[in-house]
Amino acid sequence: MAIDLASIAVLGALQAGLLAIVLLVATRSYAGVAKASLRIRGWALLFEAAGWWLLGLRGVLGDWWSIVLANGLVLLSYALTVRALRMLLGAPSRQSIVLLVSAVCWLIIVWYAMVEPNYRVRVLWASLPIAVDVTFLIKPLRHCLRKRGSNAERVMLGVLAISAGLLAWRIVDLLFGRAPPGGLLDRTLVNTIYMMLTAMQPTFTSIGFLLMYNEAMQADLKRVARIDPLTGVNNRLALAEKASSLLDRSRQTGRPFAALMLDADHFKRINDRFGHDGGDKVLLTLVDSIRASLGRRDVIGRVGGEEFVVLSPDASLGEALVLGERIRLAVENAQLWIEGEVQSLTVSIGVTVSQPEDNETEAILRRADIALYAAKRAGRNRVMSAEMHHEHMGSTSDSLIGQLMP
């Protein structure tokens, strides 16, 4: 049975149009970059549907419609798809390059369609911007081939790789094929396979977009579930996961990690006097001061109220005490204005480090918490370690810090 390529083109156009409507309607309630990306992809599908519909009516419509306008719409759909995908991936859009190449090549297509008709040259020039677009689509997806790469991105990369292969096959056939080139709708082997797979491409590409969107939303939900909404630092869940990871690493390397438990002194007084807004401002100032004192690998999280935890990888007790003192001084020297008044803010800090016999993170954090309350009882605004408290009940870290600081 002979395959009518014009019918395939029209059916592909119908499929792309229906997918476009689904995307544009379904994404109305979405938000952020993902919504913008999927809506751009929806418009790209509309232009692609219109272009393939006009291509399928070649012989019924004039060359201006079925060649010039049709190719222009298809090239525009590719350009918009580049923008949509790179937006979803957070990559630079490269929109100016894509549009410039597409516009120049389209003008050349117009010349070889209307002034000096030449199918072979016209297809070669139409293939150039598509090749550029596919390159810009594939490039930000290369990292998905790594061990823990995104499966959704691998699906998209596979679809694009097939498109690139089809395009290359068509170009080689035009340049080196034995048979003289006919029109796009001539039932040659290359044209038949190219039209059939190209007609299915909108479906597979759209599935790839939706899978990538779903992965991005899952990642956002995971991130939000691990972030304290007021301060933007890690919450209890994220801290537990990080502490567990550090404990596993400590067992492998034999190097300890430090846990610092911090609590704002006399926080209730500020909260009672200035209300929750004043209390929130104190917490944000406290977090800014702590962050400014941390190293690149250190982790901060909020465990409740005005209590925070800092985890410091590969830190000895001495290094942890120095870090605690640096945080304490930063908080003490912070400028805190509430309702036109400067308020003093200090913090008490309990410090501990993991031990070879530690089997759970809860024991490490309990030791830090014990040291924190020892610092509170000793007068607040000071740093104490669980080890020091155990050996010298009631002593502070002041003398040790003086020995550690150059």
Instruction: Identify whether the C-beta of residue 23 lies closer than 8 Å to the C-beta of residue 39.
Output: yes
The total of other beta-carbon atoms located within 10 Å of residue 187's CB is: 12
Q: Return the HEC string of 138-180.
A: HHHHHHHHCCCCCHHHHHHHHHHHHHHHHHHHHHHHHHHCCCC
Cα separation, 145 vs 126, in Å, equals 30
**What tokens appear for 238 in the block?**
């994220």
Instruction: Identify whether the C-beta of residue 155 lies closer than 8 Å to the C-beta of residue 211.
Output: yes
Q: Around 134, how many Cα atoms within 13 Å sit in the side-chain half-sphere? A: 20
Q: Does residue 325 have an active-site annotation?
A: no
Q: What is the CA radius of gyration of the chain?
A: 32
The total of other beta-carbon atoms located within 10 Å of residue 313's CB is: 18
Instruction: Identify residue 150 by its one-letter amino acid code.
Output: S
Q: Which of 215, 306, 341, 387 is catalytic?
A: 306
Cα separation, 374 vs 261, in Å, equals 12
Q: What are phi and psi of 259, to 5 degrees?
A: -125, 125
DSSP 69: I
DSSP 308: E
Within 8 A by CB and 6+ apart from 200, the residues are 12, 15
Cα separation, 373 vs 350, in Å, equals 7
Instruction: Identify whether the C-beta of residue 56 lies closer than 8 Å to the C-beta of residue 10.
Output: yes
Q: Which residue has the tokens 């120095």?
A: 322
Instruction: Identify whether the C-beta of residue 305 lies closer than 8 Å to the C-beta of residue 297.
Output: no
Cα separation, 38 vs 123, in Å, equals 29
**What tokens appear for 210 in the block?**
């939706």
Instruction: Identify whether the C-beta of residue 337 lies closer than 8 Å to the C-beta of residue 343.
Output: yes
Instruction: Identify whether the C-beta of residue 56 lies closer than 8 Å to the C-beta of residue 13.
Output: yes
Q: Could you list the active site residues?
A: 306
